Structure 1
Amino acid sequence: MKKYFLLFTATMLFLSCEKQKEVNVQDIVDKSIEISGGDKIKNSTIAFDFRDKNYKATRNNGSFQLERRFKDSTGIVRDVLSNDGFERYINNEIVKVPDSMVPKYSASVNSVHYFSVLPYGLNDAAVNKQYVEKVTLKGKPYHKIKITFNQDGGGEDFEDVFVYWINTTTYKTDYIAYSYHENHGIGLRFREAYNERYVNDIRFVDYTNYKPKDLSVSVFGLDDLFEKNQLQIVSKIDLTNIVVN
């Protein structure tokens, strides 16, 4: 009897190890980053337009400078977020920004740059990755992965929860969902990638941005609502005039 118990235990351990290999979340994310540009993003200068603003990101082996430029009633505004912190220039002159506004401006600049090169950034030290399950979405198989952030290094919105759907064959990230805190509670968004193109071997996509009609649902159930056509379009996230060096 003892022999059969040991054999059963060994078999279960083997199957558990095999399953762990199959759903190694780090390997899945690494492949998705690689197929989307990987190290080329790590050392690059990327510029693009989003709505009425121009954005430029310069990355060099951990050093970064993320910029946003636009025109308002004060003149030409240039926001710069780098390893050294945040600075604002108006008509090429640095201006003092109230301490209370620095986190908001920083997060605003960072979020656009962050989404522009996803899934790049998912291997940052503050990122936590957890495999959820394998699902089928619009007839294609996907790895469903939960992303959270540590408070230390996770930015102002470290409590946001993201879900990524990474194609099991191509390893491209085709869908993203996230929950975020807003004045009246929790907000939810689901993004569907489209208009894929590669610029100097770096993958860029645009997104259709959806929200659920029922805000009581979980971020993890948005794919099910998308399948049932129970999400409504909020906006389009389109990047134009992309230049990569």
Structure 2
Amino acid sequence: MKKFLLLLTVLLIFGCKNENSTSNDYGVETPTKELTAKEIVNKSIAVSGGENFKRSSLKFEFRNTYYQALRKNHEFLLVRLTVKNNDSVFDMLSNVGFERYNNETFVKLEDSIANKYEASVNSVHYFSVLPYGLNDEAVNKTGLGSESIKGKEYHKIKVTFKAEGGGEDHQDIFIYWINKRTFKVDYLAYSYNEEDGLGMRFREAYNERMVNSLRFVDYNNYKPEDASIPLEKLGKTFEANALKLVSKIELENVEVQLINN
């Protein structure tokens, strides 16, 4: 009888575990209960590098321009270096604000011009480490349910930004498709304001690689030829091969060093 009770207890324990969760190939426990948008994003950040983003020094090249990012806890320094005719232009964004230097000389800029340069620098660094950054205080996350793209199931997350702390482009809207099995971002779409109206892009991740524990990807960058298609529908529009490839987003010579706290 004691052996029977022991066996029954073991079966009940394993039965409860299987009922409440499963485990995927990436060591991420996948609960069968419905996850919140925040929980999904937390898992996605974890499998992409997690806390190591907060103590990292990154270097990479994008379209013949050199970028470097230094992050330590809540402090950061984002750099863009452009070399032309033996002149080096440094654009630097940090907790203090934005500054530009021509060689070693500080360049004073009008606020409107500085804001554009700041947004440009921040944009490249923002995309380079996604989904890191999606838990910033200015970020609002909303779950849009599930969606299938090319035979794979995805959590669909909408991201908007608060005006305070959301930057010059706080009105931009993002949609993320996070793989239900791996919790990695395979696709994203976003809308942004242009001078002639609203622009939209859809990105397909490829060339995934882990560099010193941090995940990096490149993107095929698409746009809809029909501007009336809602942003939320771009996943299915991509699946129907009805988007136009306009560019590739490729990070080259990526280097990562982890910093001791």
Q: TM-score, normalised by structure 2?
A: 0.85
Shift of 1:20: 11
Distance 1:136 1:99 in 2: 44
Verify the 8 A CA contact 1:161 1:178 in the aligned structure 2: yes
Verify the 8 A CA contact 1:148 1:162 in the aligned structure 2: yes
User: Who is 1:164 aligned against?
Assistant: 176
Verify the 8 A CA contact 1:175 1:190 in the aligned structure 2: yes
Distance 1:212 1:23 in 2: 30
User: Who is 2:249 aligned against?
Assistant: 237
Superposition pairs of residues 1-245 of structure 1, within 5 angstroms: 21-73=33-85, 75-245=87-257
Amino acid at match of 2:96: D
Any stretches of 5+ residues in structure 1 without a counterpart? 1-18
Verify the 8 A CA contact 1:74 1:90 in the aligned structure 2: no
Distance 1:93 1:243 in 2: 28
- Partner SS for 2:111: coil
Shift of 1:99: 1.6
- Partner SS for 1:143: strand
Residues paired across the two proteins, number: 227
Identity %: 56
Amino acid at match of 2:163: Q
Shift of 1:21: 4.7
- Partner SS for 1:115: helix
User: Who is 1:15 aligned against?
Assistant: none
User: Who is 1:10 aligned against?
Assistant: none
Distance 2:244 2:220 in 1: 10
* RMSD across aligned positions (CA): 1.4
Q: Deviations over 1:88-142 (max 9, x none)?
A: 1111221111222111000000000000000000000000000001011111000
Distance 2:88 2:248 in 1: 26
Distance 1:74 1:179 in 2: 37
Amino acid at match of 1:103: N
- Partner SS for 2:166: coil
Any stretches of 5+ residues in structure 2 without a counterpart? 1-30
Distance 1:241 1:74 in 2: 22
- Partner SS for 1:114: helix
User: Who is 1:8 aligned against?
Assistant: none
Shift of 1:219: 0.7
- Partner SS for 1:101: helix
Shift of 1:23: 2.9
Distance 1:132 1:100 in 2: 35
Runs of 4+ in 1 over 2 A off after TM superposition: none
